[in-house]
């Protein structure tokens, strides 16, 4: 074990946030795209808003699993840098990129097919054609998103996340402008915009096209940044290596399953809300948009914690890994506590920001209040997944999510939402219960693991 002196808590806090802030911006940028989609389309009517809500539930149920699989590259790369083996980290970037293309291409197929086969199973609600249009145009963005996630793992492990911020800001500005143009058409533009005013209104489909364009630009920027980074050891091109790809897959599969379990229960809650009516579905989508935005920052803190824990584990310095992980927990808890106050104090103002229709407003406010309650649990479990990932521990996180969400959260949601007739508010209280169980389990696991000796994934 390394005998290097530990930084004090203040130094660790500063080091964590220097890395966490740009990563959180990049992480938040992913949620912000869907947030913008919802905010813009919400002004096109309740049916369009419900269509985007259902489409987002389907897209993120698959994409979150895929993103989790790509996160298997995170601890491998950060531990390689911690062990001062930069050439190995570059090789792992290539292998992760090959895996991203394969997984993204395979999982894009269900996004196109599922909405088209639903009528054969008796599912034929009014907004289904719009759901089909949205997912058809959003599906090609999945491989690009996974390539971005893999490249993000490399850039953040090099402690050079600036390109992530640049890519995120540019992509989101493009997404906002293109959303307004494509959803409502060029008639909303001033006269000096010229030919752009001829663009027809595409509705929900236009929102998906705008997000696809943003993903292309986002990936292009980070790819160019890596290209400008000198390849350590002269490694400029690496062919696919079956053993490396399988290793990344073995580490990433439990992460993918745990994220799929978490996102799956939220997507399932969206489906349950739709059964209560389009107003309940719209309220759920608006609240989840805000919740996802705050959680993305907690995820950024968790990713920064993952990198710092991975560096320490790679250097065989368990005390440093423990300090980094605990500081990440404290930072995540503090930030999410502030978010909880905002949600609790200004629910109506937040609902108006999203252009909430009048018939949806009575449901949105109480759901946002529940969202405020579970912010701390959501932050702890998001950070916990990150720091455990940096330590190479991925299987326990999956088990904790399955137990917390499906043995506790979902039954409570069904009982309160349908048994006790609390509707979408009851469904969200069930989500709150599941998140609390997961948060407690992940904190306990890191506390126990870091009390011993943490070993790197690769010798």
| Chain-centroid distance, C-alpha 255 | 12
pLDDT at 6: 58
pLDDT at 61: 77
Gap between the Cα atoms of 401 and 325, Å rounded: 19
pLDDT at 50: 77
**Closest of 36, 79, 53 to residue 283, by C-alpha:** 53
pLDDT at 231: 61
Residue 409 in tokens: 């959260």
Residue 291: CA count within 13 A, CB half-sphere: 26
Residue ranges of domains in the chain: 9-449
Phi, psi (rounded to 5 degrees) for 202: -105, -10
Which pTM value belongs to this model? Answer: 0.81
pLDDT mean values, one per 10 residues, the chain (459 residues): 61 89 81 79 76 79 88 92 88 93 94 82 72 91 94 89 91 92 80 76 88 94 85 66 91 90 83 84 85 86 93 92 95 94 91 81 90 93 94 92 94 93 92 95 95 83
Report yes or no: 356 and 419 within 8 Å, Cβ to Cβ. no
**Closest of 148, 98, 398 to residue 249, by C-alpha:** 98
Q: Helix, strand or coil for residue 12?
A: helix
Report yes or no: 250 and 17 within 8 Å, Cβ to Cβ. no
pLDDT at 201: 79
């Amino acid at each position: 074990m390394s005998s290097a002196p530990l930084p004090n808590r203040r130094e660790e806090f500063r080091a964590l946030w220097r890395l966490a802030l740009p990563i959180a911006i990049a992480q938040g940028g992913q949620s912000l795209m869907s947030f913008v989609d919802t905010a813009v389309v919400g002004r096109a009517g309740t049916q369009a808003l419900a269509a985007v809500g259902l489409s987002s539930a389907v897209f993120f149920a698959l994409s979150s699993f895929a993103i989790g699989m790509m996160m298997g590259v995170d601890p491998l790369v950060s531990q390689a840098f911690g062990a001062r083996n930069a050439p190995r980290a570059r090789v792992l970037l290539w292998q992760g990129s090959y895996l991203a293309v394969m997984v993204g291409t395979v999982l894009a197929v269900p996004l196109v097919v599922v909405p088209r086969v639903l009528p054969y199973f008796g599912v034929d609600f009014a907004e289904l054609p719009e759901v089909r249009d949205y997912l058809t145009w959003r599906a090609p963005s999945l491989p690009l998103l996974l390539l971005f996630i893999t490249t993000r793992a490399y850039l953040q492990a090099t402690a050079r996340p600036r390109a992530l911020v640049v890519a995120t800001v540019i992509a989101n500005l493009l997404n906002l402008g293109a959303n307004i143009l494509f959803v409502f058409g060029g008639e909303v533009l001033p006269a000096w915009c010229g030919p752009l005013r001829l663009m027809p209104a595409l509705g929900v489909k236009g929102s998906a096209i705008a997000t696809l364009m943003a993903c292309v630009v986002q990936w292009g920027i980070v790819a160019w940044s890596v290209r400008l980074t000198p390849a350590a050891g002269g490694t400029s091109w690496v062919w696919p290596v079956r053993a490396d790809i399988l290793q990344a897959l073995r580490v990433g599969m439990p992460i993918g399953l745990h994220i799929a379990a978490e996102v799956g229960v939220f997507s399932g809650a969206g489906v349950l809300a739709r059964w209560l009516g389009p107003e309940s579905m719209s309220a759920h989508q608006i609240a989840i948009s805000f919740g996802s935005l705050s959680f993305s920052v907690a995820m950024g803190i968790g990713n920064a914690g993952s990198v710092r824990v991975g560096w320490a584990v790679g250097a065989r310095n368990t005390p440093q890994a423990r300090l980094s992980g605990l500081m990440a927990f404290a930072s995540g808890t503090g930030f999410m506590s502030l978010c909880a106050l905002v949600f609790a104090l200004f629910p109506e103002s937040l609902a108006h920001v999203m252009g909430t229709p009048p018939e949806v407003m009575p449901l949105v406010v109480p759901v946002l209040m529940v969202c405020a309650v579970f912010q701390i649990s959501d932050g702890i479990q998001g950070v916990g997944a990150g720091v455990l990932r940096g330590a190479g521990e991925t299987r326990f996180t999956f088990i904790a999510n399955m137990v917390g969400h499906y043995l506790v959260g979902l039954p409570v949601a069904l009982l309160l939402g349908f048994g006790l007739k609390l509707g979408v508010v009851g469904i969200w209280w069930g989500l709150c219960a599941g998140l609390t169980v997961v948060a407690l389990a992940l904190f306990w696991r890191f506390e126990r693991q870091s009390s011993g000796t943490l070993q790197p994934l690769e010798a």
